[in-house]
């Protein structure tokens, strides 16, 4: 019998809320493994068990999916056997010995069932002896082993595994509330979404497109990024907002140096309206302090003034190389680097204002029919479910 074991991370430290975290993590895990067959997901003795219920289950696919579920710090594929010395020995000889052959190893044992006759040190010694006899070239190294073999005595079975891997960490998605991510087609915003989802936030996303200045391929790129995020967040709604009229009004009636900051204010106001519709309680952006003109401290102040919601900026202290590395690790970098423009690059001013004054920016926006423009954009928004 083979099962997937998931060890809790921060959720294990929660007090009275711990059961809520465990329940949400179980729901997220069931969603993650559902495409790979019928699995039983349950929690016992500080461990989640993902057990296949049919022979045609894709346990390889399920294992990769569980590794991506936020909330697990360690994930392992474990083999189960009867709670007897004979059963343990047979499993070690036939399935574990080949994994430690010609390598250094150590055995760590945990006896959750205290009625089992062997205590943990005795169990480790027995298992180590069997592996030394069965695995050619294997040597014990308790300090820096190449392979660590775990023997866990649980209520029903003994589980043995070697080669546990790091899980996604963080907190289960949904335990931190819900937020609206401003998702462009660039590198930064998908990483910001990933990082806030890792802190337990369930995400919606809003994307601004400017047809005919931006084409269908640019929109499709954002769809792919949304799907990647949805696969880590248990699903997501993408709100696609037509933004052309807003940008053309700004271009035709406002000072060029303020184009970018005014566009950002409109984006925040539209995103806020959509966030309330989708029951979100915060906005998330991919801004990094000083990276571009709209991300200076004065520009950020003008942007935040346009919304009544908290704005989370998980990338605020990262440089571009650090963001690129995180995008590569998440898997979004290749998609983000496709050369299709988004609306933020269409009307970029030649000399953007680096220190915009809030009162002036407010006055310029008030000179536009901004409430009408925001309402028109919200009403024309297209919604996609992932």
* Domains of the chain listed by start with CATH number: 2-166 (3.30.2130.30), 178-385 (3.40.50.620)
Q: What is the reported pLDDT for 156?
A: 84
- Predicted local distance difference test score (pLDDT) of residue 272: 98
pLDDT by residue for the chain (386 residues), tens digit each? 899 999 988 776 677 788 899 999 999 999 999 999 999 999 987 789 999 999 999 999 999 999 999 999 999 999 999 999 999 999 999 999 999 999 999 999 999 888 899 999 999 999 999 999 999 999 999 999 999 999 999 888 999 999 889 999 999 999 999 999 999 989 999 999 999 999 999 999 999 998 887 878 888 999 999 999 999 888 999 999 999 999 999 999 988 889 999 999 999 999 999 999 999 999 999 999 988 877 899 999 999 999 999 999 999 999 999 999 999 999 999 999 988 766 666 667 677 778 999 999 999 999 999 999 999 999 999 999 99
Q: For residue 354, what pLDDT is reported?
A: 83
Q: Is 75 exposed, middle or buried (0-12, 13-18, 19+ CB in 10 A)?
A: buried
Question: What are the start-end ranges of the H helices in the chain?
Answer: 18-33, 59-67, 85-91, 97-100, 120-134, 188-198, 216-233, 244-253, 259-277, 297-304, 320-330, 333-336, 358-366, 370-379
What is residue 290's predicted lDDT score, i.e. its pLDDT? 87
> Cα 285 from chain centroid?
15
Give the pLDDT of residue 289: 92
DSSP string, 223-256: HHHHHHHHHHHT--EEEEEE-HHHHHHHHHHS-G
Distance separating alpha carbons of residues 280 and 5, to the nearest angstrom: 33
Predicted local distance difference test score (pLDDT) of residue 383: 97
Residues 146-161 as b/e (b if ≥16 CB within 10 A, e otherwise) read ebebbbbbbeebbbbb
* Cα end-to-end span (Å), the chain: 34
Q: How far apart are CA 158 and CA 312, in angstroms?
A: 45
CB atoms near residue 10 (< 10 Å): 17
List C-alpha distances in Å: 189 to 61, 167, 193, 315, 363: 27, 23, 6, 9, 29
Q: Computed from CA positions of residues 93, 94, 100, 101, in that sequence, does the dihedral angle turn out positive or negative?
A: positive
pLDDT at position 343, please? 60
Structure tokens at 68: 């991506």
The pLDDT, as a whole number, for residue 346 is 62
Q: What share of the chain is helix, strand, coil (3-state, %, to 5)?
A: 45, 20, 35
Q: Which residue has the tokens 């935040």?
A: 304
CA angle, corner 210, sides to 206 and 212, nearest 5? 145
- What is the token pair recorded at 62? 């399920």
Q: Report pLDDT for 347.
A: 66
Q: What is the pLDDT of residue 12?
A: 66
């Amino acid at each position: 019998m083979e099962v997937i074991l998931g060890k809790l991370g921060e959720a294990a430290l929660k007090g009275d809320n711990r059961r809520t975290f465990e329940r949400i993590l179980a729901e997220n895990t069931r969603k993650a493994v559902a495409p790979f067959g019928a699995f039983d997901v349950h929690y016992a003795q500080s461990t989640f068990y993902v057990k296949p219920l049919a022979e045609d289950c894709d346990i390889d696919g399920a294992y990769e999916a569980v590794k991506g579920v936020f909330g697990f710090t360690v994930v392992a594929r474990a083999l189960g056997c009867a709670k007897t010395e004979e059963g343990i020995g047979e499993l070690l000889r036939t399935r574990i010995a080949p994994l430690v052959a010609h390598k250094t190893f150590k055995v760590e044992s945990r006896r959750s069932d205290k009625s089992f006759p062997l205590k943990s040190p005795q169990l480790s010694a027995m298992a180590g002896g069997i592996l030394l006899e069965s695995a050619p070239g294997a040597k014990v190294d308790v300090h820096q082993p190449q392979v660590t073999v775990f023997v866990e005595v649980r209520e029903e079975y003994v589980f043995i595994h070697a080669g546990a891997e790091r899980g996604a960490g963080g907190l289960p998605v949904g335990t931190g509330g819900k937020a609206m991510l401003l998702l462009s087609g660039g590198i930064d915003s998908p990483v910001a979404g990933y990082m806030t989802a890792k802190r337990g936030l369930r995400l919606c996303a809003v994307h601004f497109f400017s047809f005919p200045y931006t084409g269908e391929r640019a929109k499709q790129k954002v769809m792919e990024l949304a799907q990647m995020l949805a696969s880590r967040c248990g699903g997501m709604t993408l709100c696609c907002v037509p933004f052309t009229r807003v940008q053309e009004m700004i271009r035709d009636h406002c000072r060029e140096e303020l184009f970018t900051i005014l566009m950002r204010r409109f984006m925040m106001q539209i995103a806020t309206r959509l966030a309330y519709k989708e029951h979100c309680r915060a906005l998330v952006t991919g801004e990094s302090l000083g990276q571009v003109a709209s991300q200076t401290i004065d520009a950020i102040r003008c942007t935040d003034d346009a919304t009544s919601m908290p704005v989370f900026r998980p990338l605020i202290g990262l440089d571009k190389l650090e963001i690129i590395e995180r995008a590569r690790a998440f898997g979004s970098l290749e998609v983000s680097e496709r050369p299709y423009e988004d609306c933020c690059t269409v009307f970029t001013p030649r000399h953007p204002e680096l220190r915009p004054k809030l009162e002036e920016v407010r006055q310029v926006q008030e000179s536009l029919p901004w409430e009408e423009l925001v309402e028109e954009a919200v009403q024309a928004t297209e919604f996609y479910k992932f």
